[in-house]
Amino acid sequence: MLATDEWLDDLRATGTRHDDAVRRLHELMLRGARHQVARMRATTPELTGSVAEDVIAHAANEAVVSVLGKLESFEGRSRFTTWAFKFAIFHTATEVRRTVWRDREIPMDMVPDVPATNASPSLAVEGSEFAAAVGRALDTELTAHQRAVAVALLIDEVPIDVLADQLGSNRNALYKTLHDARVRLRRVLTEQGYLEVSKTAPATRTNSQERRNR
Amino acid sequence: MTSPDRRIDDATAASLTQNTEPWLSCDDCFALTDSCVDDLLAHRSAPSEAMRVHLAACPACREDVTSLLELVAAEHGVDPATVAPLLML
In this predicted structure, the answer to whether residue B67 has a pLDDT above a threshold of 50 is: yes
In 3D space, the residue among A167, A178, A47, A61 whose CA is nearest the CA of residue B59 turns out to be: A178
Across the interface, whether the CB atoms of A112 and B6 are under 8 A apart is answered yes
Across the interface, whether the CB atoms of B27 and A172 are under 8 A apart is answered yes
State yes or no: cis peptide before B22, omega within 30 of 0: yes
Cβ neighbours of A71 (radius 10 Å):
16
Task: For residue A57, give every residue at least 6 positions away whose Cβ sits within 8 Å of its Cβ, in sequence order, or none.
Answer: A30, A33
Position A125 scores a pLDDT of 40
State mean pLDDT over A73-81: 97
Residues of chain A numbered 46-75 and touching chain B (CB < 8 Å) = none
In this predicted structure, the answer to whether residue B73 has a pLDDT above a threshold of 90 is: yes
| A11, A83 Cβ separation under 8 angstroms | no
SS3 A112: strand
In this predicted structure, the answer to whether residue A109 has a pLDDT above a threshold of 80 is: no
Rounded Cα–Cα distance for residues B56 and B18 (Å): 9
In this predicted structure, the answer to whether residue A49 has a pLDDT above a threshold of 80 is: yes
Rounded Cα–Cα distance for residues A167 and A170 (Å): 8
State mean pLDDT over A28-51: 95
Phi-psi category of A168—alpha, beta or left, where left has phi over 0 and alpha has psi -120 to 50? left
HSE-up (13 A, CA, CB side) for residue A26: 10
Which residues of chain B neighbour A109 with C-beta distances below 8 Å? 1
User: What rounded mean pLDDT belongs to chain A?
Assistant: 87
pLDDT tens-digit readout, B26-60: 999 999 999 999 999 999 888 999 999 999 999 99
| pTM confidence score | 0.87
Partner residue opposite A131 with nearest CB, options B13, B26, B71:
B13
Position B7 scores a pLDDT of 74
Interface test with B, best of A179, A189, A190, A198 (most B CBs within 10 A): A179
Position A46 scores a pLDDT of 86
Percent residues over pLDDT 70 in chain B: 93
Position A78 scores a pLDDT of 97
Lowest pLDDT segment from A144-148, B1-5, B16-20: B1-5
* β partners of residue A113: B7
pLDDT tens-digit readout, A3-16: 999 999 999 999 99
Residues of chain A numbered 120-149 and touching chain B (CB < 8 Å) = 123, 127-128, 130-131, 133-135, 138
CA–CA distances in Å: residue A154 to residues A60, A175, B62? 30, 11, 15
Rounded Cα–Cα distance for residues B9 and B26 (Å): 27
Rounded Cα–Cα distance for residues A134 and A203 (Å): 14
b/e burial code for range A118-136 (CB count within 10 A of at least 16 → b): beeeeeeebbbbbbbbbbb
Q: Is A177 on the interface with B (CB under 8 A)?
A: no
In 3D space, the residue among B31, B8, B61 whose CA is nearest the CA of residue A133 turns out to be: B8
pLDDT tens-digit readout, A176-188: 999 999 999 999 9
Position A210 scores a pLDDT of 53
Across the interface, whether the CB atoms of B23 and A179 are under 8 A apart is answered yes
Amino acid of residue A127: G
Position A205 scores a pLDDT of 67
Residues in chain B: 89
Q: Is A107 on the interface with B (CB under 8 A)?
A: yes
Percent residues over pLDDT 90 in chain B: 70
Dihedral in degrees, nearest 10, Cα atoms A8, A13, A15, A20: -10
Lowest pLDDT segment from A61-70, A103-112, B42-51: A103-112
Sign of dihedral through CA atoms A46, A48, A50, A53?
positive
Position A105 scores a pLDDT of 80
pLDDT tens-digit readout, A110-155: 445 554 444 343 333 446 899 999 999 999 999 999 999 999 999 9
In this predicted structure, the answer to whether residue A2 has a pLDDT above a threshold of 90 is: no
